[in-house]
C-alpha cells in the first residue's frame, strides 16, 4: 500500500471539506449573531451562509475536472468526470432544498437544520465517489441519519415524529440487511472493493454460482431496495414523505434517491457484472437483473395503483416516486450502456422535477393551510405562476412531451427494448411500464383538477417571495430544456458512462 | 414564410396570450384571432404554391408525380436515438393543415362569447392547435408522437373547465382513451425502431427499410389501433360522443373537426406507410370495423334525444368512411378518404357550432323534445344547419358528396358488400339529419300540442313565442359563412384539392404490394 498523503485526500475531497466547514460556520453564525432576529430573516440569513458554502464547494470540483480517473486510499474513493458530474447534481439539489427551506417554518433550530442538511449532502457526495463496500455503508449511514433527524424537525407535530421513528426503524433494519449481505460478499470474495469483487467473480465460475455470494447479493439488494423505496421495501416512504417538513421530503425524494441509485448502479454494473442473470421473457435465470425486474414491476403497479386513492399531495407524490423507482429499475434491467445512460438521465430529470413539485407544495401548502388535495382547490386563481409551474412538473412526471420526463421515460423503455432487440425479451416489462404510465396520468390529472378546475372556498391571492418564484421557475425551465434540447447532456452522459 | 411557421406562430400566439393581463379580455380574443388568421394565411399561401407546383409537375411528367414531399427542415435533434426534427409536407397533409387553420379561426370566432378565464382558454386552445399543426407536418415518427401527445393535455382542461354535461367525466375519459391509444403507439414505435435497425425515426427512411413480415403483423395493429382510437374507430369510439357533448363549442369543433383526423392521419403515416405487409394482412378487419362504425354510429344517432349527441355519433359514423376509404388501398377509395377528412372536418365544425353556440348557448337546452320552431326565431342557424346537414348526408354539390362517393366506389372494388353496408349508413344519416332539422327548427305545432293552436291564433303568424332569443352575432355569422363557403367550393370545384391528393396517394400506392 502506498503511503497516503493527506494533502491528496484533501484535494480529492475538497467539496466535502468545504461543506463540513460550512456546517460548522452555519452553527456558529446562527448561535452568535442570528438568535435575536425575526424567524424569517434568521432563516434567510442562515440559508445564505449555507448557500454560499454549497456554491464554494463547486470550485474544488471544477479543479478536478477533465483529469484521468484517480483512485484514493487503497481504492475506497474514486474521482472521475462522471462522479464529479453527479457530485455537482447533488450540490445543486442540496442548494435548491436550502432555497425552499428558507421559506418554510422550521421551528427554532435554524442553524442545526442547515448544518444537518449539509452533513446529509456530505454523505451523498461520499456515496457518489465510494468504490468500496465499507465506505459505501458508512456514507449511506451518514446520509440516512441526517435524514432521520431532518424528518423529525417539525417538533410540534405528531406526524413528523411518527414519520421519523418509522423512517428510522425501517432504515435501521435495512442497514442491518445491507451490512449482513456485504459481510457475506466479503466472506466469499475476500475483498470489499467493487473491482476486486468483479475480478473474483469473473475468475472462477464456482464463485459466481456460490449460494453464499448469491445470498449476500440478495441481502444487499434488499438493503438498497429500502433506501430507494421499491416494493416490497417501500412501506416507510408514504409516511415519511407525508410527515417530514416538505423541504426535507424534497431532499429525501431527490438528493438521497440520486445518490442511492447511483451507488446501486455502480455496485451492480461494476461489482456484480458477472451475476446478472436474465429477465428475458421465457428465459428467466436468477441474478440481480431478474430480482430488479420483479421488484421494478411490482413498484410500478403498486405505486401507481395506490397513488390513485390518495388525498394528500405529499402522499400522492410519495407513491408516484415509488412508481418512478420502478421505471428506473427498467434501465437497470436492460443492463447495458444505454440502460446506464438512461438511468442517469432519468435520475437528473426525475430529481429536478420532483424537487420542483415539492418546492411548489412547500410554498403553497404553508400558505393555504395544509397539504391535502382540497387545500389546493382553485390554486390556479390564487397563485397563477406557481400553479403553472406545478402543471409543468406534474406533466413531466406523467411523461408528457415535450417535457424532460417524457424523454427520460422514452429512453429508459428504449434501452430495455434494445437489450434484446431480436426477440423483444424485455418487452413485457416495457408494456407494463407504459400501461402503468397511462394509469398514472389519471391521478396526476386529478391533482391538476384540484388546482385548475375546482373552486376553492378561499379566494385570496397568495404571494410568494420573488427569489423563490425565480428559483422554481428556473427548475421548470431546466425540466423543459431537458426535454426539448437533451442532446448535450445525453452525449455527455453517454460518454461518461463508458468509464463504468 | 414556409408552412412550418404555422406551428411557431401559433405557439407564439399562445405565449403572448399567457403574458397579457387577465382582465383585458377583448385584447386576448383579438390576439388569438390574429394568431389564427396569420397561421391560416401562411398555410393557404403555401397550399396554393404547392398546388401550382403539383399541377406543373403533373403536366411535365405525363400525369404522375415522382416525389410529392416538400422538405421543410431536417436537423438532428436527439442523436442518441436517431431522432430528427424533420418537417415535410405533401398533398395528403396540406389539406389537413389548411383545415386546421380554418377550424382554428372559426373556433375562435365561435368562442367570442366566452367570459370565464378567457386568457387560459385561448392559451390552451392555441397550444392544442399548434400541436395539431405539428402532427400534420412532422415526418419523424418520434416528433409526430411528441406533437400528438402535446395535443392531448390541453383538451382535458378545455373540456373540464369550460364544458357542460358531465364535463369532468367526459374530459377524463377522452384523455385516458387518447393516452392509452398513444401507449399502444409508443410500444409499436419502440418495437419498430429496433427491428428496423435502431438508427432512425425518420418516416421516409423507415419506409424504405424492409421489416420482417411476422413483426409487421403484430406491430401494425398496435400503431394502427393506437391512432385509430382517436379517429373514433368502432369499438374504441366511446370517448367521442361523451367528449364532444361535454366540450365547449370550440372544443367540440376541434375534436370532431381536427383531432379525430389526427388519429386517421397517424394511422396513415405511422402504420400504413411503414407496414405494407401488416396492412395487407389486416385490411379486411379495418374495412369491416369501419363499416360497422358507419352503420352503428348512424343508427345510434337516430335514436338520440340530445341534439349534440346526434352530431357526436354522426362523427363516429363519418370517420368510418375515412377508415373504410383508407383500407380500400386503391386510388379512388383512399383519395376519397382523405378528402372526407377535410370535408367532415368542416361539416362537423359547422354542425357543432350550430348546436353548441347558436342553439344551446341561447336556449340552454339540447333536448330535441324541448326545442322546436327555431327556424323562425334564428333563421340563420336553420340555414346553416340545413347546409351542413346536406353536406353531411352527401348531397351533390357539397364536399361530402365528392368524398363519400369515391369511398363507396373504392370499397366496391374491394368488396360490393362493404358498399352495401356503408350505403345503409348513408340512408340512416339522411334519416337522423332530417329528423333533427325537423324537430329542432320546424316542429312547433306538434310539440307544443294543444296549447299551440291557441298560441298561434293569439300571435297570428309570429315566430314561436316560447323563444325570446338574442340574434346571431357577427362573429358567428362570419365563421359560419366561411365554413359553408368551403363546403360549396370543394363540392363544386373538387380538383382544387383532389389533384394533389390523388397524385400523392398514387405515390403511396406504389409502395404497397
With a pLDDT cut of 90, the percent of chain A lying above it is: 48
Segment B32-72, tens digit of pLDDT: 999 999 999 999 999 999 999 988 888 888 878 888 888 88
Q: What's the confidence (pLDDT) of residue A33?
A: 85
Nearest CB to B195 within list A395, A421, A494: A421
Determine the average pLDDT of the residues in A8-18.
83
- Of all residues in chain A, the one with the smallest CA distance to B81 is A411
Q: What's the confidence (pLDDT) of residue B445?
A: 56
Cα maximum dimension of chain A: 70
Residues in B touching A453 (Cβ below 8 Å):
157, 160-161, 168
- Of all residues in chain B, the one with the smallest CA distance to A409 is B186
Question: Is residue B161 within 8 angstroms of chain A, CB to CB?
Answer: yes
Nearest CB to B146 within list A401, A437, A448: A401
CA distance B349 to B343: 10
Q: Report residue A351's pLDDT band, with 50, 70 and 90 as the boundaries.
A: very high
Segment A461-474, tens digit of pLDDT: 888 889 999 999 99
CA distance B51 to B496: 8
Q: What's the confidence (pLDDT) of residue B462?
A: 47
Sign for the CA dihedral angle at B119, B125, B128, B134 comes to negative
Q: Are B42 and B8 in contact (CB under 8 A)?
A: no
Determine the average pLDDT of the residues in A118-143.
92
Q: Report residue A3's pLDDT band, with 50, 70 and 90 as the boundaries.
A: low
**Residues ≥6 apart with Cβ < 8 Å to B123:** B14, B17, B18
User: Do A401 and B150 count as a contact with CB atoms less than 8 A apart?
Assistant: yes
Nearest CB to B179 within list A418, A438, A491: A438
Q: What's the confidence (pLDDT) of residue B456?
A: 41
Grid cell 392559451 — which residue? Answer: B123
Q: What's the confidence (pLDDT) of residue B464?
A: 52
Q: Are B444 and B459 in contact (CB under 8 A)?
A: no
Residues in B touching A452 (Cβ below 8 Å):
157, 160-161
Please state, rounded to an integer, the average pLDDT across all residues of chain A: 88
- Residue B306 pairs in a beta bridge with B367
**Strongest mean pLDDT among A203-212, A423-432, B219-228, B375-384:** B219-228
Q: Which DSSP symbol is given to B275?
A: -
Q: Are B242 and B316 in contact (CB under 8 A)?
A: no
Q: Are B36 and B105 in contact (CB under 8 A)?
A: yes
Please state, in angstroms and as integers, the Cα–Cα distance from residue A419 to each residue in A176, A413, A424, A432, A491, following that order.
Answer: 34, 10, 8, 16, 19
Q: Which DSSP symbol is given to A457?
A: S
Considering only CA atoms, which of B308, B279, B298, B429 is closest in space to residue B366?
B308
User: Do A438 and B176 count as a contact with CB atoms less than 8 A apart?
Assistant: yes
Considering only CA atoms, which of B316, B287, B286 is closest in space to residue B299?
B316
Q: What's the confidence (pLDDT) of residue B461?
A: 44
User: Do A410 and B81 count as a contact with CB atoms less than 8 A apart?
Assistant: yes
CA distance A144 to A1: 31
Which ipTM did the prediction report? 0.89
User: Do B190 and A400 count as a contact with CB atoms less than 8 A apart?
Assistant: no
pTM: 0.91
Which region, left, alpha or beta, applies to residue B373 given φ > 0 means left and ψ of -120 to 50 means alpha? left
Query: 3-state DSSP call for residue B105?
Result: helix
Please state, in angstroms and as integers, the Cα–Cα distance from residue B424 to each residue in A273, B12, B333, B390, B482, following that order.
Answer: 65, 46, 18, 17, 31
Q: What's the confidence (pLDDT) of residue B94?
A: 92
CA distance A156 to B499: 76
User: Do A490 and B150 count as a contact with CB atoms less than 8 A apart?
Assistant: no
- Residue B86 pairs in a beta bridge with B74
User: Do B150 and A442 count as a contact with CB atoms less than 8 A apart?
Assistant: no
In the Cβ-directed half-sphere of B160, how many Cα atoms lie within 13 Å?
23
Residues in B touching A406 (Cβ below 8 Å):
146, 149
CA of B165 to nearest chain A CA: how many angstroms apart? 15
User: Do B120 and A494 count as a contact with CB atoms less than 8 A apart?
Assistant: no
Q: Are A371 and B42 in contact (CB under 8 A)?
A: no
| CB atoms near residue B506 (< 10 Å) | 17
List chain B residues with pLDDT less than 50: 446-462
Residues in B touching A427 (Cβ below 8 Å):
187, 191
Cα three-residue angle A434-B140-B205, rounded to 5 degrees: 115
For B202, phi and psi rounded to 5 degrees? -65, 125
Question: Is residue B194 within 8 angstroms of chain A, CB to CB?
Answer: yes
| Residue of B78, B200, B219 to mutate for A, most A C-beta atoms under 10 A | B78
CA of B160 to nearest chain A CA: how many angstroms apart? 7
Nearest CB to B153 within list A400, A421, A435: A400
Angle between helices A14-29 and A110-129 (to 10 degrees): 170
- Of all residues in chain B, the one with the smallest CA distance to A401 is B146
Q: What's the confidence (pLDDT) of residue A4?
A: 65
Grid cell 409526430 — which residue? Answer: B144
Q: What's the confidence (pLDDT) of residue A356?
A: 94
Length of chain A: 500
Q: Report residue A258's pLDDT band, with 50, 70 and 90 as the boundaries.
A: very high
Lowest mean pLDDT among A19-28, A69-78, A168-177, A487-496: A69-78
Amino acid at each position: 500500500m502506498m503511503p497516503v498523503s493527506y494533502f491528496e485526500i484533501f484535494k480529492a475531497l475538497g467539496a466535502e471539506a468545504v461543506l463540513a466547514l460550512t456546517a460548522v460556520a452555519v452553527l456558529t453564525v446562527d448561535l452568535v449573531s442570528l438568535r435575536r432576529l425575526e424567524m424569517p430573516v434568521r432563516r434567510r440569513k442562515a440559508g445564505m451562509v449555507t448557500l454560499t458554502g454549497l456554491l464554494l464547494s463547486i470550485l474544488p470540483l471544477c479543479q478536478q475536472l477533465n483529469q484521468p480517473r484517480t483512485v484514493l486510499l487503497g481504492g475506497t474513493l474514486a474521482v472521475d468526470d462522471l462522479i464529479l458530474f453527479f457530485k455537482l447534481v447533488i450540490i445543486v439539489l442540496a442548494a435548491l432544498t436550502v432555497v425552499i427551506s428558507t421559506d418554510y417554518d422550521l421551528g427554532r433550530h435554524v442553524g442545526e437544520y442547515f448544518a444537518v442538511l449539509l452533513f446529509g449532502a456530505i454523505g451523498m457526495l461520499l456515496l457518489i465517489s465510494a468504490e468500496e463496500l465499507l465506505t459505501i455503508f458508512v456514507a449511506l449511514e451518514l446520509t440516512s441519519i441526517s435524514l432521520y433527524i431532518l424528518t423529525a424537525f417539525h417538533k410540534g407535530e405528531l406526524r413528523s415524529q411518527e414519520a421519523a421513528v418509522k423512517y428510522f426503524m425501517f432504515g435501521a433494519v435495512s442497514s442491518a440487511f445491507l451490512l449482513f449481505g456485504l459481510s457475506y460478499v466479503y466472506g466469499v470474495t475476500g475483498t470489499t472493493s467493487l473491482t476486486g469483487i468483479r475480478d473474483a467473480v469473473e475468475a472462477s465460475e464456482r464463485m459466481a454460482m456460490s449460494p453464499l455470494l448469491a445470498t449476500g447479493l440478495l441481502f444487499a439488494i434488499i438493503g438498497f431496495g429500502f433506501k430507494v423505496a421499491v416494493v416490497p421495501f417501500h412501506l416507510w416512504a408514504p409516511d415519511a414523505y407525508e410527515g417530514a417538513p416538505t423541504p426535507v421530503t424534497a431532499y429525501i425524494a431527490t438528493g438521497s434517491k440520486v445518490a442511492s441509485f447511483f451507488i446501486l448502479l455502480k455496485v451492480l454494473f461494476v461489482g456484480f457484472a458477472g451475476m446478472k442473470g436474465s429477465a428475458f421473457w421465457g428465459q428467466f435465470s436468477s441474478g440481480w437483473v431478474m430480482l430488479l425486474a420483479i421488484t421494478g414491476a411490482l413498484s410500478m403497479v403498486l405505486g401507481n395503483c395506490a397513488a390513485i386513492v390518495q388525498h394528500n399531495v405529499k402522499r400522492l407524490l410519495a407513491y408516484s416516486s415509488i412508481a418512478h423507482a420502478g421505471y428506473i429499475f427498467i434501465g437497470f434491467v436492460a443492463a447495458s450502456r444505454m440502460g446506464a445512460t438512461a438511468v442517469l438521465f432519468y435520475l437528473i430529470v426525475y430529481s429536478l422535477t420532483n424537487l420542483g413539485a415539492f418546492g411548489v407544495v412547500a410554498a403553497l401548502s404553508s400558505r393555504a393551510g395544509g397539504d391535502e388535495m382540497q387545500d389546493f382547490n382553485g390554486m390556479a386563481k390564487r397563485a397563477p405562476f406557481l400553479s403553472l409551474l406545478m402543471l409543468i412538473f406534474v406533466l413531466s412526471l406523467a411523461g408528457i412531451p415535450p417535457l424532460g420526463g417524457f424523454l427520460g421515460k422514452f429512453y429508459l423503455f428504449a434501452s430495455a427494448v434494445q437489450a434484446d432487440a431480436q426477440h423483444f425479451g424485455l418487452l413485457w416489462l416495457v408494456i407494463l411500464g407504459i400501461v402503468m404510465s397511462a394509469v398514472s396520468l389519471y391521478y396526476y390529472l386529478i391533482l391538476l383538477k384540484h388546482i385548475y378546475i375546482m373552486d376553492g372556498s378561499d379566494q385570496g391571492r397568495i404571494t410568494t417571495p420573488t427569489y423563490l418564484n425565480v428559483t422554481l421557475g428556473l427548475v421548470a425551465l431546466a425540466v423543459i430544456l431537458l426535454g426539448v434540447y437533451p442532446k448535450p447532456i445525453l452525449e455527455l452522459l453517454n460518454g461518461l458512462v463508458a468509464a463504468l | 414564410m414556409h408552412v412550418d411557421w404555422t406551428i411557431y406562430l401559433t405557439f407564439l400566439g399562445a405565449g403572448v396570450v399567457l403574458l397579457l393581463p387577465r382582465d383585458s379580455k377583448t385584447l386576448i380574443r383579438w390576439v388569438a384571432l390574429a394568431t389564427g388568421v396569420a397561421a391560416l394565411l401562411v398555410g393557404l399561401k403555401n397550399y396554393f404554391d404547392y398546388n401550382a407546383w403539383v399541377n406543373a409537375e403533373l403536366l411535365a411528367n405525363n400525369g404522375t408525380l415522382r416525389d410529392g414531399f416538400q422538405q421543410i427542415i431536417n436537423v438532428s435533434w436527439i442523436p442518441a436515438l436517431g431522432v430528427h426534427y424533420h418537417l415535410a409536407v405533401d398533398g395528403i397533409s396540406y389539406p389537413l393543415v389548411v383545415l386546421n387553420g380554418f377550424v382554428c379561426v372559426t373556433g375562435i370566432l365561435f368562442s367570442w362569447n366566452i367570459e370565464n378565464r378567457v386568457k387560459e382558454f385561448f392559451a390552451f386552445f392555441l397550444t392544442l392547435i399548434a400541436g395539431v399543426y405539428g402532427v400534420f407536418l412532422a415526418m419523424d415518427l418520434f416528433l409526430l408522437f411528441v406533437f400528438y401527445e402535446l395535443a392531448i393535455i390541453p383538451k382535458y382542461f378545455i373540456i373540464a373547465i369550460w364544458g357542460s354535461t358531465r364535463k369532468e367525466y367526459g374530459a377524463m375519459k377522452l384523455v385516458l382513451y387518447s393516452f392509452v391509444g398513444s401507449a399502444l403507439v409508443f410500444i409499436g414505435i419502440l418495437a419498430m425502431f429496433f427491428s428496423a435497425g435502431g438508427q432512425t425515426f425518420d418516416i421516409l427512411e423507415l419506409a424504405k427499410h424492409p421489416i420482417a413480415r411476422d413483426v409487421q403483423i403484430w406491430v401494425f395493429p398496435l400503431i394502427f389501433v393506437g391512432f385509430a382510437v382517436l379517429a373514433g374507430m368502432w369499438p374504441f369510439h366511446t370517448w367521442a360522443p361523451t367528449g364532444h357533448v361535454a366540450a365547449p363549442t370550440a372544443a367540440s369543433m376541434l375534436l370532431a373537426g381536427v383531432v379525430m383526423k389526427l388519429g386517421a392521419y397517424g394511422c396513415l403515416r405511422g402504420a400504413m406507410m411503414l407496414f405494407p405487409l401488416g396492412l395487407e394482412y389486416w385490411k379486411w378487419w379495418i374495412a369491416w370495423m369501419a363499416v360497422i362504425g358507419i352503420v352503428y354510429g348512424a343508427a345510434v344517432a337516430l335514436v338520440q334525444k340530445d341534439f349534440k349527441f346526434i352530431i357526436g355519433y354522426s362523427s363516429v359514423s363519418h370517420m368510418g368512411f375515412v377508415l373504410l376509404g383508407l383500407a380500400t388501398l386503391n386510388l379512388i377509395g383512399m383519395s376519397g378518404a382523405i378528402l372526407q377528412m377535410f370535408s367532415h372536418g368542416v361539416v362537423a365544425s359547422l354542425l357543432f357550432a350550430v348546436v353548441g353556440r347558436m342553439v344551446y348557448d341561447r336556449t340552454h337546452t339540447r333536448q330535441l323534445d324541448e326545442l322546436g320552431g327555431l327556424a323562425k326565431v334564428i333563421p340563420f342557424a336553420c340555414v346553416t344547419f340545413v347546409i351542413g346537414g346536406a353536406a353531411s348526408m352527401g348531397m351533390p354539390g357539397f364536399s361530402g358528396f365528392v368524398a363519400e362517393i369515391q369511398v363507396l366506389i373504392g370499397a366496391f372494388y374491394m368488396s360490393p358488400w362493404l358498399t352495401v353496408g356503408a350505403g345503409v349508413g348513408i340512408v340512416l344519416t339522411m334519416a337522423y339529419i332530417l329528423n333533427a332539422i325537423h324537430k329542432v327548427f320546424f316542429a312547433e305545432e306538434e310539440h307544443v300540442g294543444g296549447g299551440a293552436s291557441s298560441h298561434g291564433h293569439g300571435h297570428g303568424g309570429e315566430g314561436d313565442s316560447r323563444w325570446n332569443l338574442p340574434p346571431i352575432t357577427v362573429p358567428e355569422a362570419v365563421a359560419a359563412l366561411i365554413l359553408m363557403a368551403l363546403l360549396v367550393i370543394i363540392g363544386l370545384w373538387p380538383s382544387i384539392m383532389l389533384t394533389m391528393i390523388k397524385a400523392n396517394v398514387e405515390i403511396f400506392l406504389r409502395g404497397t404490394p
